[in-house]
Amino acid sequence: MATITTKDGTEIFYKDWGSGQPILFSHGWPLSGDAWEAQMLFFGQNGYRVIAHDRRGHGRSSQPWDGNNMDQYADDLAGLIEKLDLKDLIMIGHSTGGGEVAHYIGRHGTRRVAKVVLVGAVPPLMLKTDANPEGTPIEAFDGIRKGTAEDRSNFFLNLTMPFYGFNRDGATVNAGLRESFWLQGMMGGIKGHHDCIHEFSEVDYTEDLKKIDVPTLFIHGDDDQIVPIAAAAEKAVKIVKIGTLNVYKGSGHGLAQVEPDRFNADVLDFIKS
């Protein structure tokens, strides 16, 4: 298995396939780099080098007690980018991974970055506040903390229904996708998962978005039940310097997995534009 070791001794697992312009994928909570497998195959077959890591505390990476915060996630990502000497890089982040990508740029800049794609991403801020009334109340995140702490296995399985929009009338439930989500989630550690809830819900990424000075594509479902579009992409696209928003009508949070053909084609068009 390919890994890097961070300064605090944490091992970060990653996959690095193909050759060509590099595309780096950052996954959502509580998943792993495997969430991007349809994208890695597609873009690898289309002449790109594809890289996906498992965030610390997730997937096959180490499960440290400390360091499960966005500053460290971004620095872990920087360590991987520097070790692989990635340049002219396309960064793609889903959900929490979108926060990770934004915070990487906020801390490390865009010297190595050509374009950014943020998918169902959490920036600028998920939490409902007086200044962010479109956000989600803290009680919802406290519920996620409780479910993760007390019955993580069942909580993750139930979460797949709103995550992929399978709870909507007329939706076709993909049992394999639900099982893949559960398996990826249970590979990770409960401490890292529990700590990460704060990072995707209560961290304000506004200043990070302001530092993104390369073309940025936002892709978001208007029926996203996990990261509602009104508090996320609709605000974020107005903050970055060069932003475009592609709204998937009727789509939910896990749209890259539910609609891989459409998603892959849209991202490919953006990369080539």
220 is catalytic: no
Tokens of 241: 């310097």
- Give me the catalytic one of 58, 103, 220, 253: 253
Residue pointed to by tokens 């997937």: 59
Contact by Cβ (8 Å): 263, 117: no
Terminal alpha carbon distance of the chain: 35
- Give me the catalytic one of 95, 193, 195, 201: 95
253 is catalytic: yes
Q: How many CA atoms within 13 Å lie on the side-chain side of 76?
A: 31
* Distance in angstroms (rounded) separating the CA atoms of residues 174 and 213: 38
- Give me the catalytic one of 34, 54, 75, 224: 224
Residue pointed to by tokens 């053909």: 261
222 is catalytic: no
| Active site (catalytic) residues | 95, 224, 253
